[in-house]
Amino acid sequence: MNTTTTSLYRRRKRLNQLVMAACLVATGIGFLFLFAILFTLVSKGVGSISLSIFTERTRMTGGGLGNAIWGTLVMTCVATVIGTIVGVAAGTWLAEYGGKRKMAKVIRFINDVLLSAPSIIVGLFIYAVVVVPMGNFSAWAGVLSLTVIIVPVVIRSTEDMMQLIPNSLREAAAALGAHRWWIIVRVCYSGARAGIMTGILLGFARISGETAPLLFTSLNSNQWNFFQLNNEMANLPMTIYQNMTINSFIPDLVSLAWAGALILTAAILILNIAARYFSRQRS
């Protein structure tokens, strides 16, 4: 090895060490902020966790977060069901029928735009086309805004997972006389099931913590609202926002807000762990 080669090798090695050190520092800073956030949530929220948090409704003098937790579950679950049906159907069409058609390209472009669209813009859109004509805030409007957010996630994950299925499997099933719909349902969905489920769980985790769209759609309420989706419905993100801003002068409500933030963070963490588990199963 000559002198020029040795010098070049040393420069590249030093550069590699410098980049690795910068990456480690950046990772350490990220973990530091993450630890600080989690430590603050646990230290301020765990003391307010009790059974009444899950069973009582929110009051001006305290109470619980039962109505907000229930409202969040109802709206996110309904939005996830609708978004899954629409998203899986659209993703299947793009992967199996759309191909390079002009319509498919337009749909993919719009889907990419929706993936990066700010959630508050979605909330304003639903406010203009649903809330204003209806004349009141409602849980249905909140469901629609959350559906618009989750649909692009499901479409992208479904299309990507369906495209990973080898064409040889489709051809083998077709050679046995299977119809196109049977191939999609029994062959493609079976192979892409874990990946599609991962996308659905990630979408569910994303919309469960959204606050901006609900500010313009479902708003909030201190009352129990079980299945009356035509009226305002309490939800955890809006309750946390109001208790930490508008009602910040009431210590009991601030404590409820910290407890709600801890519950919401734990729920999203569990959903992301579940998504990673299904992703590993797919791999």
**Gyration radius of the chain's alpha carbons:** 24
Number of H helices, E strands in the chain: 13, 2
Averaged pLDDT, groups of 10, the chain, 283 residues long:
74 90 94 92 88 86 85 93 95 90 92 90 93 92 94 93 90 88 90 88 88 88 86 89 84 88 89 77 55
Would you say 102 and 182 are in contact if contact means Cβ atoms under 8 Å apart? no
* Integer Cα distance of 18 and 137 in angstroms: 55
Strand partners, 59: 62
- The predicted pLDDT at position 109 comes to 93
pLDDT tens sequence across 172-183: 988 888 888 899
Quote the pLDDT of residue 2: 64
pLDDT score for 247: 79
Model pLDDT, residue 131: 93
Q: For 206-262, what is each residue's pLDDT tens digit?
A: 898 888 899 899 988 888 888 888 889 989 988 888 888 887 788 888 888 899 999
Distances in Å between the Cα of 228 and the Cα atoms of 24, 233, 252 are: 51, 8, 28
| pLDDT value, residue 62 | 67
- CA 104: distance to chain centroid? 24
The predicted pLDDT at position 283 comes to 52
Entry field: residues in the chain: 283
Q: What angle do CA 143, 149, 136 make, to 5 degrees?
A: 35
